[in-house]
Structure 1
Amino acid sequence: MGIGNTRHCPTDSPTGDIAYLTRSEHRIPTLVALTKRPRSRSELCELTGVSSSTIRRTVDEFENRVWIRKDGYQYVATRLGESIASGMEELIDRIETERKLRDVWHWLPDEMDRFSIETWADLTVTVAEPDFPYQPVNRFESLLEGTTTVRFLRPEVALMDPCFDVLTRLIGDGVDVTLIDRPNCHTYFRSTYPKRSSEMLQRDNFTVLEHEELPPYGIGLLDDRVVISCFERDSGTIRALLDTDVPAVRDWAQSVYERYEPDARPLEPQRAVE
């Protein structure tokens, strides 16, 4: 394996090695880069943006730990180094997933606990930031474009500008749309958009259903994506939008939608006119 004469560097503990790798931002990228192909010290300097002396110390430490070996004027990762680099990349990916979910976790459906961490990593999470409060709305607008079916439980995000404009156009193009929401929510949006609401309700491909007891989150089923809209419990403000194409999440979302649909009733004609 070419490492028989390598100096071994004892460490206090596994967490000591982890701490070493994470104390400087260039170390993990350096090790990962050496798993791809051999590289010289000058290449590593250019890649990481650190000085030659810093890279020299880094590769010396890596060699001491048997994570890399020298091959002429270049360095290449050993199998041990490849294992460490892969593990660190996986750890970083997992923490990145946790970071994007931690601020919205208390708004998510309790059923999210049942999904694997790998499933969480495939979620696209769009959060309403103080400087960009409409990011979830804009994300949903982009998802609406091009879909040929829309089924939505608690569709408040779909009824906000500019999503409502896209939804209106889709209905005019013949896209099948079914919305299940609370009566007071339908009343609000009909009063806000009376003309367009009246025109939409006359379309055969647009169905409005009412249900008194809906979950505290929204479920949207589009062609290729499942959408979960998260609301602030007191104000009803949309705080985050999650979307994914993971089959397990779609199966769950479909089951939630089908749980409420049989008990939902059509909008009363008289109230529709009003």
Structure 2
Amino acid sequence: MDPFGEISFLTRSENRITVLETLAGGRYTEQELTDETGISDVTVKRAIDAFRQRGWIRETETGYTTTPVGELLAADYRRLAGTMDVACHVGPVVDLLPVDEMDFDLRLLSEARISDPDDVDVLEIVDRWITLIREADRLEVFAYRTGRIVAEPIYEGIEAGTLELEAVVPPSELEQIRSDPTTREFKQKIIDAGGNYYLAPEDQPKPYSVGMFDDLAAIAGWGSDSKPQVHLESRADPIVEWTRSRYERAKADAEPLTAEDLEP
């Protein structure tokens, strides 16, 4: 058999994939497969016959089940599907995210919440940040840009005693804060209310932010116009560990900022 031809045989039919994956999860009769998958009995029978000929499944007294070859094929297809899902979601914005630094299995990103790379909505991304800020008890962030819009809910949370803030900013963001009186005033109020800002020694090569909203990891990529272009969030342990580690590395080299330090 031609491997590429067999890959094409399986993947060009969602019904075949569904039948194979269902059988990889248990033992089914033809009727049970039809009931479980919602696929017609004719289509199920064709798939079963084709799979039996290829040695992917076998018939038992109580129904059909995958052979070790079929189990391997189903597992590898799931891995490929997960990888392709990451490629579809992350591929278009790979240059905006610190993918080269991520030491976890990138397939985990297929289960992350990621903003639509084909329909970038800056306000939607910012609104999501505001929601996360208002829901969090503690925010730890290494921020490429902070902005006046998110400064207000941060200040409100700290002033109300419902939010703790630890934020590391690069030199370029400090200059942005100093040049914008409204943003500067909010940041100074945040510091006076008990929030903590730190200055990183230098800007990072790629403009991105990482943050921990309690136990939720968030990563954002920024465009050349200093506007957010992509936002992803996850509670998967490896992603959380990487995000927290990246923030802690940034903070370890940073110096505390006072309200007076924000003055031009």
TM-score, normalised via structure 1 length:
0.76
TM alignment of 1:164-203, pairs within 5 A? 164-174=151-161, 175-181=163-169, 182-187=173-178, 190-191=181-182, 199-203=189-193
Preserved contact between residue 168 and residue 250 of structure 2 (Cα < 8 Å): no
- Distance (whole Å) between structure 2 residues aligned to residue 229 and residue 26 of structure 1: 37
- Distance (whole Å) between structure 1 residues aligned to residue 54 and residue 86 of structure 2: 29
TM alignment of 1:65-76, pairs within 5 A? 65-72=54-61, 74-76=63-65
TM alignment of 1:1-274, pairs within 5 A? 11-12=1-2, 14-72=3-61, 74-109=63-98, 111-112=100-101, 114-118=103-107, 120-121=109-110, 123-127=112-116, 130=119, 132-154=121-143, 156=145, 159-160=148-149, 163-174=150-161, 175-181=163-169, 182-187=173-178, 190-191=181-182, 199-203=189-193, 205-210=194-199, 213-215=202-204, 216-233=207-224, 235-244=225-234, 245-246=237-238, 247-259=241-253, 261-262=254-255, 265-268=257-260, 271=263
Where structure 1 has 5 or more consecutive residues not aligned to the other structure, the ranges are 1-10
Higher relative contact order (CA 8 A, sep 6+): 2
CA pair 207-252 structure 1, distance change in 2 beyond 3 A: closer
CA pair 109-38 structure 1, distance change in 2 beyond 3 A: closer
Give 1:8's aligned residue. none
CA pair 146-191 structure 1, distance change in 2 beyond 3 A: closer
CA pair 227-190 structure 1, distance change in 2 beyond 3 A: farther
Answer with 90-99 or 215-224: which moved more: 215-224
Q: Could you say which structure has the higher helix fraction?
A: 2
Deviations 1:157-194 (A, max 9, x none): 5743xx44532332123333233442343246642695
| Structure possessing the higher radius of gyration over alpha carbons | 1
Give the fraction of aligned pairs with identical amino acids, expressed as a percent.
Answer: 21
> CA shift at 1:97, angstroms?
1.9
- Distance (whole Å) between structure 1 residues aligned to residue 262 and residue 151 of structure 2: 23
TM-score, normalised via structure 2 length:
0.79
